[in-house]
Amino acid sequence: MPHEKFLRSHLDFRKTIAVLFLFSSAVAFAQETGTSDTIKGAEKKIEEVVLVGYGSVKKTDLTGSVSTISADKITERNNTSPLDAIQGSTPGVNITSSTGRSGDGFRVSIRGNNSLTGNGNPLFVVDGVPLDNIDFLNPQDIARMDVLKDAASAAIYGSKGASGVVIVTTKSGSTAKRGISVQLETSYGVKNAARLPQMMTGEEWWKFHQVAYFNANPLIQTPEALATLAGNESPLLVQRAKSGYTFDWYDAVLRPGATQNHYVNLSGRSDNGLAYNMSFGVQKDEGLIDKDSNEKYNFKLGVTHKINDKFSTGANVTIAKITTELGSCNARGFQTESIDVAMGC
């Protein structure tokens, strides 16, 4: 402040003066002259804490690049996967689905790809435990997620954190309030295919394959091959193509999808220092393809006990059961009959 002192030499009445700079301060005085008062500044800042690889620091002291996603941001989209919930909400983080099927994993890229041969996925750290993915977690059990984007923030993890680090902090008993609190949530959503490519009719498909064969084999068109191509060996197929017979594969394969989310949470804190946070969740995701679904059951228990002012103990337990039904051909080479034929697998 350029002026921290002011003089009040000709005041002969009782009054209160408010001096306004970057803040306000009130000074009371009586009938006195020739004296001076000094305004003492006071600041009050909200200190934000950010998690980094080696612990937590104040946001004002942070020199690295870190993004924080709160619990409200994670759960507002009603998704079954934590990564799907934060997609598009963090600068510099690109999250894409591997195949688009229900229950399949995600590919995470932080500040672009840094590997020509590897998958480039970041390291996930859940409550201090390094993991390859977090698909088993229920988004509603997550308290916050911190994305470490640069080398300075993730240096403690060495080469494992070369592609970035995602630190996940789950809800524990330490955040529970005194007494008992019960939370119950349930939701149901429907999804449909909005845009689909226009398919050929039977006759168009037949002519397309004839032209493709002629272009691919211009010098080996034997009489036998031409007869087969013309349909001499399958008159029923030719008849169906010329009569306009068409089978609707979209109607046979696609269906309306649905997403269900049921969650119950019980938390509390007792007078003897024992705090707990227990939850159970059921998530079901039905894809747009028949027999494509994912079911996930989660149980989470976090307990903390404060022994005294210096010592406390606690434990976090997470149990998950995931059942995935593949409705299309997959990376392991299995097929599901007519659906794979319709999808060209």
CB 203, CB 238: distance < 8 Å: no
Mean pLDDT of 238-255: 77
pLDDT of residue 159: 79
The one-letter amino acid code at 286 reads E
pLDDT of 34 reads 54
Q: How far from chain centre, in Å, is Cα 259? A: 16
pLDDT tens-digit map of 28-74: 555 555 555 555 554 444 445 555 555 555 554 455 677 888 888 88
Question: Is the predicted pLDDT of residue 251 greater than 50, yes or no?
Answer: yes
CA 216 to chain centre: 46
Looking up tokens 């002969």 gives 12
Q: Provide the H-helix boundaries in 243-323.
A: 249-253
Beta strands 165-170 and 123-126, pairing class: parallel
Q: Name which of 75-79, 148-152, 287-291, 336-340 the model is least confident about.
A: 336-340
Tens digits of per-residue pLDDT, 187-237? 888 888 888 888 887 778 777 877 787 777 766 667 776 666 666 656 776
Which residues lie across from 293 on neighbouring strands?
Answer: 286, 325
User: What does the alpha-carbon distance between residue 217 and residue 85 come to, in Å, rounded to a whole number?
Assistant: 50
Least confident of 93-102, 173-182, 280-289: 93-102
CB 122 within 8 Å of CB 113: no
User: Which DSSP letter does residue 155 get?
Assistant: G
pLDDT for 76 equals: 81
Q: How confident is the model at residue 300 (pLDDT cuts 50, 70, 90)?
A: very high
The mean per-residue pLDDT over the stretch 10-25 comes to: 49
> Given this model, what pLDDT does residue 299 score?
96
172 with 276: CB under 8 angstroms? no
- Rounded to the nearest integer, the mean pLDDT of the chain is 74
Higher pLDDT, 162 or 54: 162
Contact (CB, 8 A) for 294 and 80:
yes
Q: What is the pLDDT of residue 71?
A: 86
Q: Which residue has the tokens 């306009």?
A: 244
Maximum average pLDDT range among 106-115, 141-150, 170-179, 296-305 = 296-305
- 289-322 as b/e: b if 16+ CB within 10 A: bbebbbbbebebbbbbbbeeeeeeeeebebeeee
* Mean pLDDT confidence for 241-252: 76
Report how far residue 168's alpha carbon sits from residue 318's, in angstroms, rounded to the nearest whole number: 13
